[in-house]
Amino acid sequence: MKRLSLSGTRRALEPALRRVLHVYWRFARAMTLGVRALVIDADGRIFLVKHSYVSGWHLPGGGVEAGETLVQAVARELREEGNIEMTAPPRLHGIFFNNRASRRDHVALFVVRAFRQSAAPVPNGEIIAHGFFAADALPNDTTAATRARIVEVLGGAPVSERW
């Protein structure tokens, strides 16, 4: 009978231990992760959306689903909220802690300059309004976080760690 050393036993148990720890971390240290996109058209205008369930104008985006990469999530959200299809990979601008939503929420912001929009999106139960706006003519109720990200990307302001 072959005897396992202590390090061999650890290696043998590692997959099971990793699974147990991941379950623990999911509940004890869980965080939520979302994506947003700063979509800039050829005229320098920014695509914003207005949701039915929260006030103000926002950058399009939403939660990252299980099994989905950040880029897949941003592509899906742009299709769903703006009928926008990226034609080149987006550029990651930053990852932000969004403690306004919860103490576990993080948002990855991507800049999208290469895209096509085959038709304007039709307002639905989630998105009640949308549009492209010049950076100096945003709707009055554009959220502070949305304005801050626009100034970071277009105006060269320092990138914050917080949404």
pLDDT-above-90 percentage for the chain = 69
Residue 23 lies in a domain: yes
Give buried/exposed letters for 63-93 (b at 16+ CB in 10 A, else e). Answer: ebeeeeebeebbbbbbeebbebebeeebeeb
Residue 87 lies in a domain: yes
**pLDDT confidence of 34, banded at 50, 70, 90?**
very high
pLDDT in the model for residue 11: 59
Q: What is the mean pLDDT of the chain?
A: 89
**Whole-prediction pTM:** 0.82
Q: Are residues 78 and 109 in the same domain?
A: yes
pLDDT in the model for residue 128: 93
Q: Are residues 83 and 99 in the same domain?
A: yes
Residue 21 predicted with pLDDT over 90: no
pLDDT in the model for residue 1: 56
Reduce the DSSP state of residue 128 to 3 states and report it.
strand
Q: Are residues 12 and 82 in the same domain?
A: no
**pLDDT confidence of 38, banded at 50, 70, 90?**
very high
Residue 163 lies in a domain: no
The pLDDT tens digits of the residues spanning 60-87 come to 999 999 999 999 999 999 999 999 999 9
Q: Are residues 87 and 11 in the same domain?
A: no
pLDDT (average), residues 112-140: 93
Residue 147 lies in a domain: yes
Q: Are residues 83 and 5 in the same domain?
A: no
Comparing 36-45, 117-126, 139-148, which segment has the lowest mean pLDDT? 117-126
Residue 9 lies in a domain: yes
pLDDT in the model for residue 74: 98
Residue 150 lies in a domain: yes
Structure tokens, 6? 């202590």
Q: Are residues 109 and 41 in the same domain?
A: yes
Residue 35 lies in a domain: yes
pLDDT in the model for residue 124: 85
Do 157 and 151 form a contact (C-beta atoms < 8 A)?
yes
Q: Which domain range does residue 67 map to?
A: 31-155
Residue 162 lies in a domain: no
Q: Are residues 36 and 96 in the same domain?
A: yes
pLDDT (average), residues 92-114: 92
Which residue do the tokens 């005229």 mark?
43
CATH number of the CATH domain containing 146: 3.90.79.10
